[in-house]
Amino acid sequence: METFDPKKNEKVKKVTGFFKKSGFLAVLVIAVPLILLNSAYNIEEQEQAVLTTLGKPGAVTEPGLHFKLPFVQQVQKVNTTIQGFALGYDLADNESEEIDSLMITKDYNFVNVDFFVEYKVADPVKAVYASEDPVLILQNISRSCIRTVIGSYDVDAVLTTGKNEIQSTVKEMVMEKLQQHDVGLTVVNVTIQDSEPPTNEVMEAFKAVETAKQGKETAINNANKYRNEKLPAATAQTDKILQEAESGKAQRVNEANGDVAQFNAMYAEYIKNPEVTRKRMFYEAMEDVLPGMKVIIDGTDQTSTILPLDSFVTENQNGASENVTENAGEEN
C-alpha cells in the first residue's frame, strides 16, 4: 500500500497549474489575432459595404480600412462598377438565343433583336436585402419592356431608322419599372447590338433597302454639294445682270430727261420766234442728212427710173485705172 507523500502531491499541483496557465495563454495568443483580424475590413474604390448590426443593415460607402464588432456585426461587400448582361445572344460565343431575340413587330413581322443592358448598384442595402436576386429581376423587367417597345414599332424602324429611339424608350421604361420594384439597381444604358430578319431572303431584301437609302443620301449630298458650288456663281451672275439693268435704266432715264429738257428749251425758243426756229431746225436736219446722200439732177422734166449709178461709177473708175496702168506698161 502506497503511503501519502505531501511533497509529491504539491509538485503535481504545481505542474498541473503550469499547464493550465500555459493552455490559457496559448488560447489567448491564437484568439486575439483572430479577433483583431475579424474586426477589420477594407473597402476598395469601386466597392461599398453593408454593415449589419444585430440584424439592422447600414451602408458603408467610404473606401479604405474600417472596423466592426466581432461576432456582433457582419459585413457584405457590393461591387458598384458598371456591369451588364446580354439579352438575345450568348456573350461567351456570340451565338443568338431566339428565346429572347425573336420578337414580333407592330406590322406583324418577325425580327431577331439582340440587346445589351448595363447597370450598377445604386443602393447597396436594398441590393442585398430587398430581393434574393436583383439582377434576375432586372433581366425579367428588361425582357418585358423590350418586347413591349419592339411591338410598338414597324419592322423597318426596328431594322433601320428607329434604333436610337427604341433604345431610349426601352431604357426609360426599364428605369420606371425598377423604381417600382426598388431593388437597389439602376440602368446605365440599353444598346441594340444587332437587329435582323429571321430569314436570309428577308435579310438580303432589307440590306438592299438599306443600300438604296444610303445611295439616296449620297445622291442628296452630291446634289447639295453641286448646288453649293454653283449657287455663288449664279448669284454673282444675277447680281451682275441686275446691276447692268439698273445701270441701263439709269442711263435711259438720264437720256430721256436730257431729251425732255432739250425739247422744252427748243419749245421755249419756238414760242418766242416760230418761223426762225423752224428754219434753223430744218437747216440743222439737212446738215445731218445731206452729207450721206447722193443727189442726181435730171433736167428733162420727165419721171424716169433712177438706176444704181454707184456701181457704174465704181466700174468706170476701176476701168480707167486699169487703162492707165496698161498704157504705162506699154510705154516702158
- DSSP line for 219-230: HHHHHHHHHHHH
d(CA 89, CA 97): 5
d(CA 35, CA 39): 6
Residue 189's contacts (CB-CB under 8 Å, 6 or more residues apart) are 117, 118, 171
Neighbours of 326 (CB within 10 A): 10
pLDDT score of 45:
79
Neighbours of 83 (CB within 10 A): 14
pLDDT score of 304:
52
Q: b vs e for 232-263, b when ≥16 Cβ sit within 10 Å of the residue's Cβ?
A: eeeeeeeeeeeeeeeeeeeeeeeeeeeeeeee
Classified as helix, coil or strand, 120 is strand
What the block records as the C-alpha cell of 146 is 423590350
What's 37-75 look like in SS3? Answer: HHHEEEECCCEEEEEEECCEEEEECCCEEEECCCCCEEE
pLDDT score of 1:
45
Query: Long-range contact list for 98-107, CB < 8 A, 24+ apart?
Result: 100/143, 102/198, 103/146, 103/147, 103/150, 103/151, 104/150, 104/151, 105/150, 105/151, 105/153, 105/154, 105/155, 105/158, 106/151, 106/152, 106/153, 106/154, 107/154, 107/155
Written as one letter, the residue type at 32 is V
The whole-model pTM stands at 0.51
Distances (CA, A) of 100 to 16, 28, 147, 188: 73, 58, 9, 21
Question: What residue segments make up the domains of the chain, in order of their start?
Answer: 6-77, 82-198
Tell me which architecture the domain covering 82-198 has in CATH.
Answer: 2-Layer Sandwich (3.30)
Per-residue confidence of the chain (332 residues) as pLDDT tens digits? 445 455 555 554 554 554 455 555 555 555 455 555 566 767 777 887 877 777 677 777 777 676 666 766 777 788 888 999 999 998 888 888 888 888 989 988 888 999 999 999 988 888 888 888 999 999 999 999 999 999 999 988 888 888 999 999 999 999 999 999 999 999 999 999 988 887 666 667 667 777 888 888 899 999 999 888 888 888 888 888 999 899 899 999 998 998 888 888 878 877 888 888 788 878 888 887 777 666 565 556 555 545 455 555 555 555 555 554 454 454 44
Q: What is the Cα 9 distance to its own chain's centre?
A: 99
Asked if residues 206 and 160 have their Cβ atoms less than 8 Å apart, the reply is yes
Asked if residues 39 and 70 have their Cβ atoms less than 8 Å apart, the reply is yes
DSSP 121-177: ES-HHHHHHT-S-HHHHHHHHHHHHHHHHHTTS-HHIIIIITHHHHHHHHHHHHHHH
Neighbours of 77 (CB within 10 A): 16
pLDDT score of 20:
53
* Exposed / middle / buried, residue 95 (Cβ in 10 Å: 0-12, 13-18, 19+): exposed
- β-strands 110-121, 83-87: how paired? antiparallel
Q: Which among 217, 84, 107 has a CA at the least distance from the CA of 153?
A: 107
